[in-house]
């Protein structure tokens, strides 16, 4: 009897305009978003590859440790076609410098930072809005509609328990809503595999399967919500009102409102604090530099900028007295700059910690929103959430420490400080004619500037080990469990209320 009722419900749903509309809308929007984002991914990927090659080339061209400013990047993941997360606006490339701690990434892939204000459009967004909406529209009149038509009385007169009737409506709605979800996943994957020639690893395939199941679970939750609103009242127009109000609140208002309210309840620190600290540090550094130059009678004058063999392309091709002075100055100035960089990072970290608190508060308010859980599950599975970006930034900071340690081990902040910006040794100047001769030999070959030297040995630049793109299934599971729990609660509530429902 249960199966008969189930198949009848499925047949009825399949014949409705609502189902046709859901099918066309979900599949069409999914294909459009995948198609365009697939193209976008191909462009981003090729740009990332091109940039990686140019960074490698730059690293090979380095003649002095002062030129070592490695660019490290986070390549785009193919799963970002399904959900772009926060990743697309947080940047992907970091230039690791000695005198500043990495705190933000440059965006060399999306190119236009002015677009950060325009929300992304991906398959996750399509599913978030359309699956929930059609879930509601498919089920809002499940009982109240049957009651109005007079068919509910008849169904209840069959030899089937109310639990069976409720379950048949629930499963029928869920199966029917799963059809467009399944087709949209298949169609989108076909677009990615055949038109964009994208390949996925085994774990990425597993993530895609989990995403499909999550979307179905999300749809089931809204089917249950629709049925629940249907058993709460006797008129289908009122149940539609309740269901749509619920949808508006949990899919539209609460996620937007929580982001909106979190900064009000937990205000961020003023950026002016960092700005003034940066300015004050710059002034202090300038004063200390001038003071040192004056007291140590250094033979070059400094007038600001960043040119004392520091972070850039400066190299030394001068005279022994200059070399000594530069070395003395560098040993004093470099640790000072690094200390200032750490102090500013401490301040930035305090600001970031407050932003994370805001984020947690927003997430706490959002806990009641299934749309939020779908979004977080998808960003964890596609590795496009803020968490993965933060992990990358942490790797960059660790890499900077490794780089500084490498320099320190080579004595570049101490006894070998002159090697930071020159390949000459003091002994080279003991016989000036030899120095001049060597210089002349190279210049005779038409080689000028730093190019007169061979590139630095590779051990000066430690490798940057970062592996991205591994889906975080564990994080996603937590949100999926919450979705499941919500579905069970809504189902149980609907089930209990239906027991007391007056079918007359």
Partner 1 sequence: MFTIIKQQVIDGLRDSLFLFIAVVVLLTFVVNGFVFSDRYHVAREDWERHNANTIEFLEARTSNLTVLARYYQTMVKPASTLTFIANGGEERLPNSYSVNAFLYVNPRLQNRGNETLPDFLIIDWIFIIGIVLSLQAFMLGFRAICGEKRDGTLRLLMSYSVSRWKLFFGKYVGYLTILLVTFALGASINLFILNVTGAMQFTSTTLFVLGWTAIVSVLFISFVLLFGIAVSSMVRTPAVALVILMIFWLFAVIAVPGIARIIGENAMQVPSESDVSQEINLARSEIWDNSKEGAGAWYGDNEYRFTQAARNRAEVYQAISASIQNIFNSADKQRIDQAVLINTIASLSPYGLMSDALQRLTRQGIYGYSDLKEAARRYQQQLYSFTKEKDRIDPDSPHNLYHGVERGGFSTKPVELSSIPRSDVLWQSGGLLGDLHVPWMHMVMLMASNVVMMLVAFIFLLRYDPR
Site residues for partner 1, window 164-193 (CB under 8 A)?
none
**Taking the complex as a whole, how short is the minimal distance between the CB of residue 387 and partner 1, in angstroms?**
9
Tell which one of 5, 96, 240, 383 touches partner 1 (CB under 8 A): 240
CB of 389 within 8 A of CB of 93? no
Nearer Cβ to partner 1 (256/405): 256
Three-state secondary structure string covering 49-65: HHHHHHHHHHHHCCCCH
339 contacts partner 1 (rule: CB under 8 A): no
Which of these ranges, 199-207, 244-252, 411-419, 479-487, lies near partner 1 under the rule CB under 8 A? Answer: 244-252
Nearer Cβ to partner 1 (2/129): 129
**Taking the complex as a whole, how short is the minimal distance between the CB of residue 164 and partner 1, in angstroms?**
26
Nearer Cβ to partner 1 (311/413): 311
CB of 90 within 8 A of CB of 352? no
Nearer Cβ to partner 1 (157/301): 301
61 contacts partner 1 (rule: CB under 8 A): no
Which of these ranges, 7-15, 60-68, 241-249, 314-322, lies near partner 1 under the rule CB under 8 A? Answer: 241-249
Nearer Cβ to partner 1 (306/458): 306
> What is the greatest pairwise CA distance in the chain?
112
**Taking the complex as a whole, how short is the minimal distance between the CB of residue 191 and partner 1, in angstroms?**
14
**Taking the complex as a whole, how short is the minimal distance between the CB of residue 441 and partner 1, in angstroms?**
22
Site for partner 1 in 387-406 (CB under 8 A): 390
Enter the tokens of residue 406.
């490498």
Which string of DSSP letters, residue by residue, matches 289-302? HHHHHHHTT-SS--
Tell which one of 179, 206, 241, 439 touches partner 1 (CB under 8 A): 241
Site for partner 1 in 118-147 (CB under 8 A): 118-122, 125-126, 129-130, 133, 137, 141
Report the 10 Å Cβ neighbour count for 236. 21
Quote the distance between the C-alpha of residue 336 and its chain's center.
34
Could you give the string, one character per residue 9-28, with x where binding to partner 1 holds by CB under 8 A and - elsewhere?
Answer: --------xx--x---x---
Site for partner 1 in 351-390 (CB under 8 A): 352, 355-356, 358-359, 362, 372, 375-376, 379, 385-386, 390
Bridge partners, 73 (sequence order): 93
Q: Among all chains, which residue has been given the structure tokens 């998808």? A: 378
Angle, to 10 degrees, between the axis of helix 320-366 and the axis of helix 271-295?
170
Give 416's DSSP letter.
T
Tell which one of 6, 40, 198, 314 touches partner 1 (CB under 8 A): 40
Could you give the string, one character per residue 81-100, with x where binding to partner 1 holds by CB under 8 A and - elsewhere?
Answer: ----xx--xx--x-------
Between the two ends of the chain, the Cα-to-Cα distance in Å is 22
Which of these ranges, 171-179, 234-242, 421-429, 485-493, lies near partner 1 under the rule CB under 8 A? Answer: 234-242
**Taking the complex as a whole, how short is the minimal distance between the CB of residue 494 and partner 1, in angstroms?**
20
Nearer Cβ to partner 1 (263/318): 263
**Taking the complex as a whole, how short is the minimal distance between the CB of residue 325 and partner 1, in angstroms?**
16
**Distance from C-alpha of 290 to C-alpha of 307, rounded to nearest angstrom:** 14
Site for partner 1 in 247-306 (CB under 8 A): 248-249, 252-253, 255-264, 267-272, 275-276, 279, 283, 301, 303-305
CB of 299 within 8 A of CB of 322? yes
396: nearest Cα among 139, 21, 119, 95? 95
List all residues 6 or more positions away from 193 whose beta carbon is below 8 Å from its beta carbon: 199
List all residues 6 or more positions away from 199 whose beta carbon is below 8 Å from its beta carbon: 78, 193
371: nearest Cα among 22, 126, 21? 126
307 contacts partner 1 (rule: CB under 8 A): yes
Q: Among all chains, which residue has been given the structure tokens 């929103």? A: 369
List all residues 6 or more positions away from 470 whose beta carbon is below 8 Å from its beta carbon: 203, 383
Nearer Cβ to partner 1 (90/217): 90
Total residues in contact with partner 1, by rule CB under 8 A: 93
Enter the tokens of residue 107.
């965006």
**Distance from C-alpha of 11 to C-alpha of 234, rounded to nearest angstrom:** 24
Enter the tokens of residue 189.
């994957």
**Taking the complex as a whole, how short is the minimal distance between the CB of residue 466 and partner 1, in angstroms?**
19
């Amino acid at each position: 009897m249960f199966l008969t009722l189930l198949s009848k419900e499925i047949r009825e749903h399949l014949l409705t305009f609502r189902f046709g509309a859901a099918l066309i809308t979900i599949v069409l929007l999914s294909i459009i978003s995948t198609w365009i984002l697939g193209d976008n991914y191909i462009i981003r990927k090729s740009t990332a590859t091109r940039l990686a090659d140019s960074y490698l080339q730059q690293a090979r061209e380095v003649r002095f440790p002062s030129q070592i400013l490695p660019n490290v990047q986070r390549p785009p993941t193919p799963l970002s076609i399904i959900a772009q997360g926060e990743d697309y606006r947080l940047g992907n490339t970091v230039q690791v410098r000695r005198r500043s701690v990495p705190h933000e990434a440059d965006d060399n892939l999306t190119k236009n930072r002015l677009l950060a204000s325009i929300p992304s459009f991906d398959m996750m967004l399509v599913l978030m809005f359309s699956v929930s909406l059609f879930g509601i529209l498919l089920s809002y009149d499940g009982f109240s509609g049957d009651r109005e038509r007079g068919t509910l009385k008849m169904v209840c007169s069959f030899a089937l328990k109310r639990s069976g009737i409720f379950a048949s409506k629930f499963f029928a709605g869920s199966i029917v809503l799963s059809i467009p979800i399944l087709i949209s996943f298949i169609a989108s994957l076909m677009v990615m595999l055949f038109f964009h020639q994208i390949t996925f690893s085994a774990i990425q395939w597993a993530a895609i399967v989990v995403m499909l199941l999550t979307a179905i679970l999300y749809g089931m939750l809204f089917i249950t919500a629709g049925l629940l609103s249907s058993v709460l009242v006797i008129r289908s127009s009122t149940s539609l009102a309740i269901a749509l109000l619920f949808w508006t609140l949990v899919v539209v208002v609460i996620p937007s409102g929580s982001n909106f309210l979190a900064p009000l309840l937990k205000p961020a620190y003023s950026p002016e604090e960092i700005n003034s600290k940066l300015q004050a540090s710059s002034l202090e550094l300038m004063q200390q530099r001038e003071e040192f130059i004056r007291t140590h009678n250094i033979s070059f004058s400094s007038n600001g900028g960043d040119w004392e063999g520091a972070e850039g392309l400066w190299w030394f091709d001068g005279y022994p007295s200059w070399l000594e002075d530069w070395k003395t100055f560098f040993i004093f100035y470099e640790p000072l700059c690094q200390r200032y960089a750490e102090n500013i990072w401490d301040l930035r970290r305090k600001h970031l910690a407050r932003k994370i608190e805001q984020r947690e508060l927003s997430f706490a308010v959002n806990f009641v929103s299934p749309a939020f859980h779908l979004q977080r599950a998808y960003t964890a599975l596609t590795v496009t959430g803020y968490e993965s970006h933060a992990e990358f930034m942490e790797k960059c900071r660790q890499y900077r420490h490794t780089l500084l340690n490498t320099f320190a081990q080579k004595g570049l902040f101490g006894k070998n400080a002159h090697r930071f910006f020159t390949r000459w040794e003091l002994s080279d100047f003991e016989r000036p004619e030899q120095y001049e001769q060597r210089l002349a030999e190279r210049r005779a070959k038409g080689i000028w500037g730093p190019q007169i030297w061979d590139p630095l040995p590779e051990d000066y630049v430690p490798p940057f080990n970062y592996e991205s793109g591994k889906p975080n299934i564990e994080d996603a599971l937590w949100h999926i469990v919450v979705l499941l729990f919500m579905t069970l609660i809504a189902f149980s509530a609907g089930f209990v209320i239906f027991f007391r429902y007056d079918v007359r």
